[in-house]
């Protein structure tokens, strides 16, 4: 990737993207200021969500209003986990995790053991991300 392409990834809507690293407090502060933040690992997003929950719980218990945090501004390796553009596929037509695969689909061509492994991998990822 050339330098200009990399710079374009670092900025969106003329707002600098903050590389938070492992410092969750930097991420919380930047997000509170309306800045975009980027993490290298999904586990860092999980830690951020835990911290935001703590902040919300504290505000609720003290009877004060919590700041608003726009999770659409959180990315992991320049990929947004919370807000994406629609692909124009109605939800009822989206692939599901249960049931038999549609004949002729990629999933139909997999053997049963491979399907189970893929489902378990997806479920594990969802648990890790606490979705």
Across the range 106-111, mean pLDDT stands at 70
Residue 115: per-residue pLDDT: 57
Q: State whether 126 and 76 are in the same domain.
A: no
Q: Total domain count for the chain?
A: 2
Q: State whether 3 and 56 are in the same domain.
A: yes
The per-residue pLDDT of the chain, averaged, comes to 76
Q: State whether 77 and 103 are in the same domain.
A: no
68: nearest Cα among 25, 34, 36, 23? 34
- pTM comes to 0.55
Across the range 6-16, mean pLDDT stands at 51
- Looking at per-residue pLDDT, the higher value among 116 and 68 belongs to 68
With 60 as the cut, is the pLDDT of residue 14 above it?
A: no
Q: State whether 55 and 111 are in the same domain.
A: no
Q: State whether 64 and 113 are in the same domain.
A: no
Residue 114: per-residue pLDDT: 59
Residue 111: per-residue pLDDT: 64
Q: State whether 41 and 17 are in the same domain.
A: yes
For a pLDDT cut of 70, what percent of the chain falls above it? 63
The region, left, alpha or beta by phi > 0 then psi within -120 to 50, assigned to residue 90 is beta
Q: State whether 99 and 125 are in the same domain.
A: yes
Identify the domain containing residue 113 by its residue range: 93-131
Residue 16: per-residue pLDDT: 80
- Looking at per-residue pLDDT, the higher value among 117 and 20 belongs to 20
Q: State whether 79 and 98 are in the same domain.
A: no
**Structural tokens at position 60:** 């609720």
Instruction: Give the 3-state secondary structure of residue 18.
Output: strand
CA dihedral of residues 86, 90, 91, 96 (deg, nearest 10) = -100
Q: State whether 36 and 73 are in the same domain.
A: yes
């Amino acid at each position: 990737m050339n330098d200009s392409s990399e710079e374009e990834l670092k900025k969106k809507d003329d707002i600098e993207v903050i590389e938070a690293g492992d410092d969750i407090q930097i991420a919380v502060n930047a997000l509170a200021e309306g800045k975009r933040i980027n993490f290298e690992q999904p586990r860092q997003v999980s830690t951020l969500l835990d911290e935001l929950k703590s902040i919300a719980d504290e505000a609720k218990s003290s009877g004060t209003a919590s700041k608003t945090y726009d999770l659409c501004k959180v990315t992991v390796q320049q990929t947004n986990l919370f807000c994406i553009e629609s692909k124009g596929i109605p939800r009822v037509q989206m692939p599901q995790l249960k049931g038999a695969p549609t004949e002729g689909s990629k999933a139909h061509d997999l053997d049963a053991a491979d399907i189970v492994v893929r489902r378990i991998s997806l479920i594990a990822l969802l648990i890790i991300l606490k979705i």
